[in-house]
Amino acid sequence: MAVFTGAGVAIVTPFKANGEVNYEKFGELLEFQIKGGTDAIIVCGTTGEASTLTHEEHLEVIKYCVEKVNGRIPVIAGTGSNCTETAIYLSTEAEKHGVDGLLTVTPYYNKATQKGLFAHFKAIADSVKLPIILYNVPSRTGCNILPETIVKLCTEVENIVGVKEASGNISQVVKLMSLAEGKVDLYSGNDDQIFSLLTLGGKGVISVLSNVAPKETHDICEKFFAGDMEGSRDIQLRAIELCDALFCEVNPIPVKKGLNLMNMEAGPLRMPLTEMEEANAVKLEKAMKDFGIL
């Protein structure tokens, strides 16, 4: 059984002006997502600026999220690291806090071999009982999990169940699903490819777009699974301008700006991320207005 089906939000971590985590606003964002029909919360991922959270903050944000959501929808914690021991530590602690699953990114900077990737992910999986979704995003990590390695992990390691595929390489995803034999739960990691990956057997999306448009992102998936292919496709195509604007600078710079434009008070970014360039902010605001969320 999949950890979740449909639209999971890769949720931002809101900060106060002084850089501290703003738990009051985080709670409001969680309620906004649940009200909008989001099917799962993915906390402390790339969009949540996990790389600039201390370990203590990382785990406190996860703990708060689990308590606030209170079982209404699944909570999946990002616990990946380029250090296997660190990933194991974050994963075991997140399990203690009651998350429903883990999202573990490929080790960045180290650029492990496929053999190293298998050993890394197996070591994490062996340390917990939770289901694990791999995260393949070579544009950010410099490391690509090959389809054969993903299938091997999902076949040989009981609690590794799927992958968030953000390579952008549709041919690679097609090959993955041709080898998967139903053993790999596929989630789109690119908001402009949700519909495409659903047609290949995907279970849903782990989405940046959902931060600002939870209902519409959910509806792309819900309509698809209900057999309304045209309705699903139409929302996907209508969202392309907004998807482009949300990634015209490195994530999560644009999506935090978008939330602030919606008066959701996501706050500033942590260095080395900086505020959005004015020309790109204008482009984002226009896309949000055209999509009907401003």
Q: Tokens in use for 141?
A: 């990590």
Q: Which residue is it, tokens 């496929």?
A: 114
Burial of 234: CB neighbours in 10 Å, binned 0-12, 13-18, 19+: middle
Q: For residues 270 and 15, is the Cβ–Cβ distance under 8 A?
A: yes
* Best CA proximity match to 77, nearest among 101, 47, 105, 54: 101
**Catalytic site positions:** 135, 164
Q: How far is 118 from 189, CA to CA, in rounded Å?
A: 21
Question: Is the CB of residue 191 less than 8 Å from the CB of residue 208?
Answer: yes
Token pair for residue 287? 């896309």
> 263-272 burial, b for 16+ CB within 10 Å, e for fewer?
ebebbbbeee
Residue 70's alpha-carbon distances to 41, 57, 81, in angstroms, are 12, 20, 27
Work out whether the CA dihedral 179, 181, 184, 189 comes out positive or negative. positive
- What interhelical angle do 147-156 and 114-126 show, nearest 10? 30
Closest CA to 187 of 35, 31, 28, 40: 40
CA dihedral in degrees (61, 63, 65, 69; nearest 10)? -170
Structure tokens at 2: 């999949």
Cα 277 off chain centre by: 24
User: Helices then strands (H, E): number in the chain?
Assistant: 13, 8
